[in-house]
Amino acid sequence: MLNPYWVDLHVHTALSPCGELEMGAPEIVDAARKAGIDIIAISDHNSADNFPAISERAEGCPVVLPGIEVQTAEDIHVLAVFPDYAHAAAFQEWLWKRWAKMPPTSNDPDIFGYQTVIDKDDGILRMEDVLLVQGVGYDVDTVVREIRASGGLAILAHIDRPSFSYPSVLGPFPADYPADASELSWRIDSAQAAEWRERYPQMTFIRSSDAHMLDALGRGHCTKMYLEAPTFGEIRLALSGEGGRRVSWPWG
Ligand SMILES: [Zn+2]
Ligand SMILES: [Zn+2]
């Protein structure tokens, strides 16, 4: 039997330099529960290192999936969502390989903000020294291909935005672009959203909070999906419209 679940696949934590320090494990879990969100993906820039903290804290409520918001060589953001931490960590290892050869810029907290790896009680485990908001050295097509080959879902992030989105950097993407979905910002209105749907009739669209602050978590900022259970596999089916699972149009 299919049931409606509220899904937010784009939530930042205190590990993202632009994420507020309030984005800790108990805080995110409490805010998601209060907002009635059933499934979240933790998707910090270029790293899944805070997934364990949020997942352990949530104890399944909400369901927490590991994700990474990849910044490609062209400065395009792509969401990668994985079934479990082992898959995410293996992908992250591939992602950071280029940086091993081509030393990345270090973070300057005074300019960019702190990048804090935490435990489930917000204890500080370490500060990430590599600036996470920089390109990883792979182009967008390579990143999308590798996410999918690694068992993940590849979602073009905030395609309506004037920066760090595929259309803003490279122009319109092909109608049959091999992403699992595209994300639209909750800030756009229903007429703007409808234009995207008309332009890309083959594409599945989701809406996510891209939360950097707790206030951004809410049902009005995410997507309702009809699933048999709140799992990664069911979300995959919904994005591809298989077995009756579906993504409801967020501006419905
Ligand atoms: Zn982004
Ligand atoms: Zn983001």
Q: Which CATH number fits domain 3-247: 3.40.50.2300, 3.40.50.1110, 3.20.20.140, 1.10.3720.10?
A: 3.20.20.140
**pLDDT of the residue at 135:** 95
For the chain, give every domain's residue range.
3-247
Give me ligand 2 centre to Cα 252, in Å: 24
- What's at 72, amino acid-wise? T
CA of 250 to the centre of ligand 2 (A): 18
Whether the Cβ atoms of residue 238 and residue 215 lie closer than 8 Å to each other: no
Closest ligand to C-alpha of residue 13 is: 2
**From the CA of 34, how far away is ligand 1's center (Å)?**
25
E-strand ranges in 35-102 read: 39-45, 63-71, 77-81
Distance 43 CA to ligand 2 centre (A): 7
Q: What is the pLDDT of residues 229-251, one digit of tens each?
A: 999 999 999 999 999 999 999 99
Please give the distance, rounded to the nearest whole angstrom, from the Cα atom of residue 154 to the centre of ligand 2: 14
**pLDDT tens digits along 16-68:** 988 778 999 999 999 999 999 999 999 999 999 999 999 999 999 999 999 99
Residue 3 CA from chain centroid, whole number: 23
Q: What is the DSSP letter of 137?
A: S
Residue 187 sits at the vertex; the CA angle it makes with 181 and 189, to the nearest 5 degrees, is 90
Ligand nearest to the CA of 18: 2
